[in-house]
A and B are shown apart, each in its own frame.
Chain A
Amino acid sequence: MTEPAVADPPAGERVPAIEAVDVSRTYQLDGVSVEALRGVSLTVQSGDYVALVGPSGSGKSTLMHLLGGLDRPTGGRLVIGGRDVNALAPPEMATLRNETIGFVFQAFHLLPRTSAVENVALPLVYRGVSARQRRERAAAMLGRVGLGHRLDHRPNQMSGGEQQRVAIARALVTEPTVLLADEPTGNLDSVTGAAVLELLEQLNAESGVALVMVTHDQEVAARAHRRITMRDGVVVADSADPRSAHDRPPSVDHGRPATLVPAPSAEPRSASGSGPGHPSGGSGGAAGATGRLPREVERPEAHSRDAAGGDAVAREGAAGARQADRPGGTA
């Protein structure tokens, strides 16, 4: 292991769990650059409870992936657990994720045909914990999320709420410093979703794990200690940041699709965005007219209580377009 590139904090101050300084992330699509994040700076302290809000496509998930060390910024500095990710090789990134981060996804991402305990124990496998200890710790963690009676159930034998609880237990079994939850209730009905949220908040309060959560629920956002609003790949409001004068609730935001920067020589307003490699669909005209990647324009109801669904649809649409553009997308 190489010596971690530490962001030396001024003496006496707390070492932040995560520190992002002017972080950007640009995706390349067929020679076209998509700026998903354009200079985001934020600091997550241990024990924080941060709600991340913003319209679909504003870069929330991209930011979460970066904060969790699942992806690397294309610009700026990102320090997770005191280590600069730019200085880390993929295996070191993996170890960093394992030791400091817990992920909860909208789609649960449990291994099918695998029992709840085994799912929860999975992160410990990559820590070299013995099988017996893994089971013990996973079982204890399942007890904490209220699933002590479901140890050997498989995902297909559990409700959505239970599955998400298993995923939460899996995220916390390694005792991370930060729990990153990207729309954790997006696939759940409102009652179940509320229970899952309550659990997350309770775990945050009890164990001191920092909770960063993407949500569309304004009540939740209001309950959080801190609310960060994103739009077009930048933070437009941060309740913890005194410089952010206007902390507007997300419903006021009018979601504009992230800016699309066409190929180097192309003019922003030219039709080059829908060049040969692009799908010519219904939205192709719009792309040609605006010079932007075809994407579902945010609908007004996207911020209502069931907004998560709408957002998912939008992201799916964008993913579809990406796949069409790039045949070997998963390579």
Chain B
Amino acid sequence: MALDALRANRLRSALTMLGVIIGVASVVLLVAIGTGTKQKVEQQVEGLGSNLLLVVPGRIEVGNAPVVSPLTLKDVDAVTRVVGDPDRVAVTVASGATARAGARSDFTTVQGVLETTPAVFTRSLARGRYLTGTDVDTSRRVAVLGDSVARALFPDRDPLGQQVALAGVRFRVIGVFAPLGQSLGVDRDDEVHVPVTAAQRLWGTQRVDGIAVKAPDRERIDELGERIVAELNRRHPDTEFSAVTQQQILGVLGDILGVLTGVLAAIAGISLLVGGVGVSNIMLVSVRERTREIGLRKAVGARPRDIGVQFLLEAVLLTTIGGLTGMALGVGTALLVDALSPIPAAITWWSLALAFGVSAVVGIVFGVVPAQRAGRLDPVVALRTE
């Protein structure tokens, strides 16, 4: 019965639904993008390796300015003593530098590291070998290139054994990383690894920017972090240090992305609300147009509630059909976006359930007033209307 009424006025029903369709579609799409981004970031953070502890000077908080590191390789040795296993400790001292090979050059990030890096962060090589302990101990000028750097400097040559000039100093290429791809718009293959000792000499510094520790197990990771921080605080009483786990990083990132997703969903929700107002409006028009029908139904025995339920059902049908259409549209668009653009999108069942539920609720909320009005019509007056 309710369906018949909607069919009778197809175009108007479709136009009324449009608001709900757009609202639901945008909720589904935006939540999908938010979720997809979050999932991708999580993947990448987890892809760094398991049970990682990142030790840096300063506090890790959103909006905190980075601190110049007071750490040196002596501190790294102290941390290694706390950890008890040198293979679990990695360091970095990083700076931007121009890499040059023949006529070609590429501005990139040079990272001074220990030979432990591939074990601590799960990284693999496409060609050649990684740095060794000897390379580090002897400050040998050897370099492992990220995939992008290798392509930029040696587009048509095998980079292995070639010379690259980093900040004007010549290094020999001994390996090329397997590509990692993009992460949040950052090219993770745009880097060059050299022995930390060579990097410090290159920039004339004793500094180490950060220390990464791979904890033996997840249970004791926090306790280990505390011990490392305590040791560093003892050595540098004026500086604060923090040790953060992947879980903490994920927590912070997740919060940011969650808020972002929520804001997007709320904006989309507003259009759903506007759609609901449209439904309410059209139902009022419909009640007015069908006044005679209402009068007749009452004359043959419809109770006020029967009439009210009829119009409420129509409103809910209108918004749920709109909701389903909007869901299909949102899912389709999300799949397209995910496939054809760098923006990740992931459909979640809860967003579909939510969108459907909300559209049904919109129908009820915005259908109640017209339905009540219809139910209360005086049959004698209603039958006389033209």
A98 to B291, CA, bound (A): 19
Interface residues in B1-29 (C-beta closer than 8 Å to A): 4, 8
CB pair B300–A122 under 8 Å, yes or no, is yes
Give every chain A residue within 8 A of B382 (Cβ-Cβ).
330
Tell me if A77 counts as interface (CB < 8 A to partner B): no
Give every chain A residue within 8 A of B292 (Cβ-Cβ).
109
Interface residues in A303-331 (C-beta closer than 8 Å to B): 319, 329-331
Given known A91-B303, A91-B305, A113-B8, contact A122–B379 (CB-CB < 8 A): no
A103 to B302, CA, bound (A): 13
Tell me if B248 counts as interface (CB < 8 A to partner A): no
Give every chain B residue within 8 A of A123 (Cβ-Cβ).
300-301
CB pair B4–A105 under 8 Å, yes or no, is no
Q: Mark A78-121, 1 if CB is under 8 A from B, else 0.
A: 00000000000011001101110001010001010110000000
> Smallest distance from the beta carbon of B183 to chain A beta carbons, Å?
59
- Residue among B292, B299, B379 with the highest chain A CB neighbour number at 10 A: B299
Tell me if B214 counts as interface (CB < 8 A to partner A): no
A259 to B305, CA, bound (A): 37
CB pair B8–A90 under 8 Å, yes or no, is no
> Smallest distance from the beta carbon of B304 to chain A beta carbons, Å?
6
Given known A105-B383, A111-B296, A330-B377, contact A90–B301 (CB-CB < 8 A): no
CB pair B301–A126 under 8 Å, yes or no, is yes
Chain A, Cβ-Cβ closest to B291? A330
Q: Mark B271-312, 1 if CB is under 8 A from A, else 0.
A: 000000000000000001001110111111111111000000
CB pair A329–B381 under 8 Å, yes or no, is yes
Tell me if A153 counts as interface (CB < 8 A to partner B): no
Tell me if B380 counts as interface (CB < 8 A to partner A): yes
Give every chain B residue within 8 A of A114 (Cβ-Cβ).
4
Tell me if B220 counts as interface (CB < 8 A to partner A): no
Interface residues in B359-386 (C-beta closer than 8 Å to A): 373, 377-385
Chain B, Cβ-Cβ closest to A99? B301
Total of A-B residue pairs, C-beta within 8 Å = 66
A70 to B381, CA, bound (A): 10
Give every chain A residue within 8 A of B302 (Cβ-Cβ).
94, 126
Given known A71-B380, A109-B292, A330-B291, contact A103–B299 (CB-CB < 8 A): yes
Give every chain A residue within 8 A of B385 (Cβ-Cβ).
330
Tell me if A68 counts as interface (CB < 8 A to partner B): yes
A173 to B95, CA, bound (A): 91
Given known A91-B305, A113-B4, A330-B291, contact A126–B381 (CB-CB < 8 A): no
A95 to B301, CA, bound (A): 6
Give every chain A residue within 8 A of B295 (Cβ-Cβ).
109
CB pair B379–A70 under 8 Å, yes or no, is yes
> Smallest distance from the beta carbon of A321 to chain B beta carbons, Å?
13
Give every chain B residue within 8 A of A170 (Cβ-Cβ).
300
Chain A, Cβ-Cβ closest to B7? A113
CB pair B384–A319 under 8 Å, yes or no, is yes
Give every chain A residue within 8 A of B304 (Cβ-Cβ).
90-91, 94
Tell me if A295 counts as interface (CB < 8 A to partner B): no
CB pair A65–B300 under 8 Å, yes or no, is no
A191 to B162, CA, bound (A): 110
A180 to B126, CA, bound (A): 94
Given known A91-B303, A94-B298, contact A330–B8 (CB-CB < 8 A): no
A105 to B303, CA, bound (A): 20
A119 to B288, CA, bound (A): 21
Interface residues in B51-96 (C-beta closer than 8 Å to A): none
A174 to B298, CA, bound (A): 14
CB pair B301–A65 under 8 Å, yes or no, is no
Chain B, Cβ-Cβ closest to A68? B299
A175 to B306, CA, bound (A): 21
Tell me if A269 counts as interface (CB < 8 A to partner B): no
Give every chain B residue within 8 A of A71 (Cβ-Cβ).
378-380
Give every chain B residue within 8 A of A144 (Cβ-Cβ).
none
CB pair B300–A97 under 8 Å, yes or no, is yes
A180 to B20, CA, bound (A): 45
Q: Which of A70, A111, A113 contacts B299 (CB 8 A)?
A: A70
A105 to B300, CA, bound (A): 12
> Smallest distance from the beta carbon of B220 to chain A beta carbons, Å?
69
A331 to B373, CA, bound (A): 8
Q: Which of B293, B380, B381 contacts A111 (CB 8 A)?
A: B293
> Smallest distance from the beta carbon of B44 to chain A beta carbons, Å?
59
Chain B, Cβ-Cβ closest to A326? B381
10 other A-B residue contacts (CB within 8 Å) besides A94-B298, A114-B4, A126-B300: A70-B298, A71-B378, A71-B380, A94-B302, A103-B300, A122-B300, A123-B301, A126-B303, A170-B300, A329-B381
Q: Which B residues fall within an 8 A CB radius of A?
A: 4, 8, 288, 291-293, 295-306, 373, 377-385
3 closest Cβ pairs, A-B complex: A98-B301, A123-B300, A91-B303
